[in-house]
Amino acid sequence: MSIPDYQTLMLPLLKRISDGGEYKFRDLIDLLASDFNLAPEERKELLPSGQQALFDNRVGWAKTYMKKAGLLDSPKRGVVVITPEDQNILRQNLNSIDTKFLRKYLLS
C-alpha cells in the first residue's frame, strides 16, 4: 500500500468526524493511518525537506482544503469538527471528495 494523496484522504477524514464530536487533529491522523493500514515505515516516511511525516502533511492538506471550503471547522487550535454542510455531503453517499468537488463550496 502506498501513502494516499490528500484528496483521497478528504472523504475518510469527513467520515471520521461525522458524529459531531470534537477531534484532536493528531488523533485523526492516527485513526486515518489505521484506516489505510499504513505500515510503521510508511508513517515515518518524511517529506523531502525531512521536517514532517508525509502522511501527516497530506492529512493536513486535506483538512486545509476542506476548511477553506467551509466543510470543517477548527474551534480551537489542533481541534477539528464537522459543519452542518458536511452532514448533507455525507448523505450524498459520494465515492470521493476532491478539489474539483470543493470548488462549489469555496468561501470568498
Q: What is the domain partition of the chain in residue ranges? A: 6-105
Question: In this predicted structure, what is the pLDDT of residue 1?
Answer: 62
What average pLDDT does the chain have? 93
pLDDT > 50? residue 108 = no
**Sign, CA torsion 33/67/65/17:** positive
What mean pLDDT comes out for the span 75-97?
90
Question: In this predicted structure, what is the pLDDT of residue 85?
Answer: 79
Question: In this predicted structure, what is the pLDDT of residue 38?
Answer: 97
- Using one digit for the tens of pLDDT, what is the confidence trace for 32-60? 999 999 999 999 999 999 999 999 999 99
Q: For domain 6-105, which CATH number applies: 1.10.10.10, 3.40.50.970, 3.40.50.150, 3.40.50.300?
A: 1.10.10.10
Question: Nine-digit cell at 44?
Answer: 515515518
- Using one digit for the tens of pLDDT, what is the confidence trace for 54-76? 999 999 999 999 999 988 999 99
Question: In this predicted structure, what is the pLDDT of residue 32?
Answer: 98
Contacts with 70 (C-beta within 8 Å, 6 or more apart), sequence order: 83, 85, 105, 106, 107
CA distance 35 to 67: 21
Confidence (pTM): 0.92
DSSP states along 60-76: HHHHHHHHHTTSEE-SS
